[in-house]
């Protein structure tokens, strides 16, 4: 009898097989590749799955509320998952000759429930073993197999509780919203969930602040001396007359009244956890959080980096950090910096405060990227490798300088900073920027001459919009969602039309959904309720509470919410229908027709089902323009600089771009010669 090792993906199964034996034999069953290898006299089968091959399904019909659910093969739930059937059949076939079952899926709650479901349902066993690893390097995989432990049941139970609770909340609340709007004569695919609701509320509160914001004008005074700009000590003058008087009193000759210098050491940034990686990748490359997570996962599966879905900022010594740095020194890109660390024997990293019991911080394994690695992957890899190396480097030394000038009886101030010793900064370039303003040439008592004196008018700004990266960070800070699901929640809000744009704007419909729920069912948006459920699922992992108690508690709360929701369906639906019609008009109206002055809008042909831009005065006006058939289209409310026709914003999957609706516009002359998408 053999040992059956279950891997989360085919690519990982191949790596595990190679790690367990160079003589691994690749075999086929039902179109699925699996591997046979002998290790220490033991016959081992390594078989892949493809993520979640079991899904939750209600046991009795549709409608809502629904509370009776169970696990069934994914292909019985969704047609698009039919391909998973052959993987399940392969595992069932191999399990007949197996005496031991090993879960080798990713070591997190999701991987734990994926493997646990396969072992108990497909293999028919209540017991199994667990491989624990953070990289897919051969050495670590072999060690994980040789030191496999008992199944991590608590992780699996926590994963199951999360799956059931999220499914029940998502299905019931989403069906409730759709039922409410359907009863008022409209139809729209809608969703809301345990974390989605509080997230929408956070974004809506910011949107309301921006909408309600009234800009206030103010004036500032600036004096330029020796090429450096100094600001009047008052900062903002909210009365123009007061600013003008201060300007009149400002003399063109003055003295340096005060200079304060402070040298300090700037510590390196800690190594990446998933959230900080998502923030940096968005900042430098414009990658959305979900895009970064997907890229990082592919780098992990190629053995280039450690497991990315981690909350840790720790690099424990057991990782053999000197060995990793030595491996990176073989890469010409990192050779100089790695060798500097080796020569100075700097093998103790600067770490952050965050920890994760399952995985260390994200680090480059030292394995060299192969030719053909996508450009996006190389960018994220470079960011991770340089961040990792910079953690071991010396502190940077910087100097802050505060200078105050007396120009008559008016005081002007300036703050500057400069780098005296780069230290870790040189390791992390170009992913670090400090504003360098050199005030080192100013000394107390010196005379100064004003080269330029100006008074500028400005106005106060509304709160900044969230970006996909900053809202993920906010969710982490508020303990909402998990490190692996937060980016998916943001993507869902985009897909449902609740939010739009890179600087996130909550749509009219998104605001209406939030307002209706806030008035009629505020518990759906309650952060504390969501946090409570998150804490209880963590207690399952720690063995402090039983899975069944958490699930029953979640059902009880949900049942009470749904009971009240059903009573108010018509009121909720009425509010949503009004907003939906308004949103549809906003989304479909592109601008004025250049032929007749009518309204250009997005129209779907009844005959072909294709969409195009047409005039509201049809059939009197037949002006029309082709538009992309796939993805969401948002009017930009601005005209093309080349031809004056409306511009649109297109989001198709992970591709986003702006375009003019005129196919013959000069702005499109280069299309087809190079990519027009901006990721």
356 is written with which tokens?
A: 């994760």
CB burial of 281-290 (b: ≥16 within 10 Å; e: otherwise) equals bbeebebbbb
The strands making up 655-660's β-sheet, listed across from edge to edge, are 632-639, 646-652, 655-660
Cα(332)–Cα(330) distance, integer angstroms? 6
**In angstroms, how far is CA 585 from the centroid of its own chain?**
30
DSSP string computed for 66-84: ---EEEEEGGGT-GGGTTH
**What residue has token string 């049941």?**
153
Cα(383)–Cα(534) distance, integer angstroms? 31
Tell me which residue of 388, 366, 369, 391 sits closest to 378, measured CA to CA.
Answer: 369
Cα(623)–Cα(500) distance, integer angstroms? 28
**In angstroms, how far is CA 587 from the centroid of its own chain?**
26
Query: What is the distance between the terminal CA atoms of the chain, rounded to a whole angstrom?
Result: 50
Q: Between the CA atoms of 13, 15, 17 and 23, what dihedral angle is there, to the nearest 10 degrees?
A: 140
Helix ranges (DSSP H) in 429-544: 468-477, 486-495, 508-520, 527-541
Q: Which residues contact 93 (CB under 8 A, 6 or more apart)?
A: 29, 30
Cα(391)–Cα(341) distance, integer angstroms? 10
Residue 267 Cα distances to 352, 397, 429, angstroms: 11, 9, 15
Q: E strand or H helix at 375, and its extent?
A: helix 375-390
Q: Is the peptide bond before 430 cis (omega within 30 degrees of 0)?
A: yes
Question: What 3-state class would DSSP assign to 72?
Answer: strand
Catalytic residue, chosen from 116, 307, 334, 381, is 307
**What residue has token string 């030595």?**
326
3-state helix, strand, coil in the chain (%, to 5): 40, 25, 35
476 and 313 in contact (C-beta within 8 Å)? no
DSSP string computed for 642-661: TT-PEEEEEEETTEEEEEES
Cα(162)–Cα(170) distance, integer angstroms? 12
Q: Using alpha carbons only, how large is the chain's radius of gyration in Å?
A: 30
Tell me which residue of 560, 561, 551 sits closest to 163, measured CA to CA.
Answer: 551
Is residue 307 annotated as part of the catalytic site, yes or no? yes
Question: What 3-state class would DSSP assign to 430?
Answer: coil
Catalogue the active-site residues. Answer: 307
């Amino acid at each position: 009898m053999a040992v059956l090792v279950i891997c989360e993906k085919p690519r990982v199964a191949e790596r595990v097989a190679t790690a367990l034996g160079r003589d691994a034999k690749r075999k086929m069953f039902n179109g699925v590749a699996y591997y046979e290898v002998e290790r220490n006299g033991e016959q081992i089968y390594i078989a892949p799955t493809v993520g979640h091959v079991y899904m939750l399904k209600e046991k009795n019909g549709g409608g809502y509320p629904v509370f009776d659910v169970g696990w069934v093969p994914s292909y019985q739930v969704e047609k698009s998952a039919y391909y998973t059937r052959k993987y399940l059949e392969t595992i069932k076939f191999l399990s007949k000759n197996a005496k031991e079952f090993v879960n080798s899926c990713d070591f997190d709650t999701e991987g734990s429930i994926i493997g646990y479901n396969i072992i108990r349902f497909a293999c028919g066993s209540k017991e199994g073993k667990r491989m624990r690893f953070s990289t897919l390097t051969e050495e670590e995989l072999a060690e994980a197999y040789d030191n496999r432990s008992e199944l991590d049941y608590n992780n699996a139970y926590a994963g199951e509780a999360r799956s059931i609770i999220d499914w029940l909340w998502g299905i019931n609340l989403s069906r409730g919203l759709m039922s409410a709007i359907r009863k008022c004569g409209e139809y729209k695919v809608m969703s809301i969930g345990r974390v989605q609701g509080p997230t929408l509320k956070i974004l809506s509160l910011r949107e309301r602040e921006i909408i309600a914001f009234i800009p206030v004008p103010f004036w500032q005074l600036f004096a330029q001396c020796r090429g450096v700009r100094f600001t009047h000590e008052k900062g903002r003058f909210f009365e123009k007359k007061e600013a003008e008087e201060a300007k009149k009193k400002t003399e063109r000759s003055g003295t340096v009244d005060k200079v304060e210098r402070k040298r300090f050491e700037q510590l390196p940034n800690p190594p990446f956890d998933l959230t900080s990686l998502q923030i940096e990748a968005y900042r430098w490359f414009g990658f959305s959080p979900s895009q970064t997570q997907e890229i990082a996962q592919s780098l992990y599966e190629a053995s280039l980096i450690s497991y990315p879905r981690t909350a840790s900022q720790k690099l424990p010594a057991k990782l053999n950090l000197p060995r990793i740095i030595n491996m990176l020194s073989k890469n010409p890109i990192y050779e100089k910096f790695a060798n500097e660390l080796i020569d100075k024997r700097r093998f103790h990293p600067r770490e952050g405060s965050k920890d994760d019991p399952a995985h260390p911080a994200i680090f480059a394994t030292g394995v060299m990227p192969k030719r053909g690695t996508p450009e996006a992957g190389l960018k994220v890899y470079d960011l991770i490798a340089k961040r990792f190396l910079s953690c071991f480097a010396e502190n940077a030394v910087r100097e802050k300088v505060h200078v105050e000038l007396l120009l008559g009886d008016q005081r002007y101030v300036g703050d500057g900073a400069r780098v005296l010793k780069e230290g870790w900064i040189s390791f992390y370039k170009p992913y670090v920027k400090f504003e360098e303003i050199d005030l080192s040439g100013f000394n107390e008592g010196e005379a100064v001459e004003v080269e330029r004196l100006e008074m500028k008018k400005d106005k106060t700004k509304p709160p900044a919009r969230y970006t996909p990266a900053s809202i993920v960070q906010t969710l982490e800070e508020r303990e909402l969602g998990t490190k692996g699901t937060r980016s998916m929640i943001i993507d869902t809000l985009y897909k449902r039309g609740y939010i739009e744009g890179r600087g996130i704007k909550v749509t009219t419909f998104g605001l209406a959904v939030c307002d209706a729920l806030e008035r009629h069912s505020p518990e759906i948006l309650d952060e504390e309720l969501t946090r409570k459920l998150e804490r209880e699922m963590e207690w399952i992992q720690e063995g402090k509470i039983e899975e069944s108690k958490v699930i029953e508690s979640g059902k009880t709360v949900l049942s009470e919410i749904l009971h009240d929701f059903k009573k108010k369906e018509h009121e909720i639906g009425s509010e949503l229908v009004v907003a939906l019609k308004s949103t549809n008009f906003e989304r479909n109206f592109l601008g004025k027709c250049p032929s007749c002055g009518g309204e250009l809008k997005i129209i779907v042909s009844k005959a072909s089902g294709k969409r195009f831009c047409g005039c509201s005065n049809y059939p009197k006006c037949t002006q029309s323009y082709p538009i992309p058939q796939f993805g969401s289209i948002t009017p930009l409310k601005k005209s093309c600089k080349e031809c004056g026709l409306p511009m649109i914003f297109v989001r198709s999957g992970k591709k986003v771009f702006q375009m003019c609706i005129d196919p013959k516009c000069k702005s499109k002359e280069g299309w087809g010669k190079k990519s027009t998408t901006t990721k």
